[in-house]
Amino acid sequence: MTGRAVAATNQHYDLDPELFGLFLDPLLKYSSALYESPGDTLAVAQERKLRFVAGRLGIAGGERLLDVGCGWGSLVLFMAREYGCLTTGISPAPRQHEYIAARAAELGISGLVRTEVGHFELASLPERGFDAVTMLGSIVHMPDVDAAFRKARQVLRREGSLYVSESCFRSTAARQAHRQRAGTEFVRDSIFGWGDMRPLSALVAAAENAGFSIAAVDDLTAHYYRTIEDWLAGVRAARPRIEELAPGYAAVLERYLEIANAGWGYTTKHYALTCRNARKGWRA
Amino acid sequence: MTAAGNHNAGDDIVATVTAIAAAELGLPAASLRPDADLRAIEGMDSVKVLRMIARIEQAYDIELDDEVVFGLSSVAGTAGAVRQALGEQP
Residue, of B61 and A174, whose pLDDT is higher? B61
Cβ neighbours around A279 below 10 Å, total: 9
The CATH number, out of the four listed (1.10.1200.10, 3.30.360.10, 1.10.645.10, 1.10.3720.10), of the domain defined by the range B3-85: 1.10.1200.10
pTM, rounded to two decimals: 0.89
Largest CA distance in chain A: 56
Of the residues B45, B46, B72, the best mutation for testing chain A's interface (the one with the most A CB atoms within 10 Å of its CB) is B46
3-state DSSP call for residue A185? helix
Beta strands in chain A (DSSP E): 64-68, 86-91, 113-117, 130-136, 156-169, 213-219, 268-276
Q: What is the pLDDT of residues A149-204, one digit of tens each?
A: 999 999 999 999 999 999 999 999 888 887 767 666 666 665 555 678 999 999 99
Q: Looking at CA atoms only, how far is residue B68 from chain A in angstroms?
A: 11
Q: What is the pLDDT of residues A96-131, one digit of tens each?
A: 899 999 999 999 999 999 999 999 999 999 999 999
A79 φ, ψ (degrees, to nearest 5): -65, -35
Determine the residue of chain A that is closest to B65 in CA distance.
A266
Q: Which residues of A touch B46 (CB under 8 A)?
A: 181-183
Q: Crossing angle for the helix pair A42-57 and A74-83, nearest 10 degrees?
A: 70
Min mean pLDDT across A204-213, A235-244, A268-277, B63-72 is at B63-72
- CB contacts < 8 A, A to B, total 22
Min mean pLDDT across A55-69, A185-199, A217-231, B8-22 is at A185-199
Q: Which residues of B touch A262 (CB under 8 A)?
A: 47-48, 50-51, 54
Determine the residue of chain A that is closest to B52 in CA distance.
A262
Domains of chain B: which residue ranges? 3-85
Give the pLDDT of residue A183. 67
Determine what percent of chain A falls in helix, strand and coil, rounding each to the nearest 5. Answer: 50, 20, 30
- A52 vs B50: CA distance, rounded Å: 31
Do β-strands A156-169 and A86-91 pair in parallel, antiparallel, or remain unpaired? unpaired
Determine the residue of chain A that is closest to B48 in CA distance.
A262
Q: Looking at CA atoms only, how far is residue B60 from chain A in angstroms?
A: 17
Contact: A266, B69; criterion CB under 8 Å: yes
CA angle A91, A96, A98 (to 5 degrees): 120
CA angle A254, A93, A8 (to 5 degrees): 60
- A78 vs A47: CA distance, rounded Å: 8
Q: Which residues of B touch A182 (CB under 8 A)?
A: 45-46
Contact: B47, A262; criterion CB under 8 Å: yes
Contact A143, A116 (CB under 8 A): no
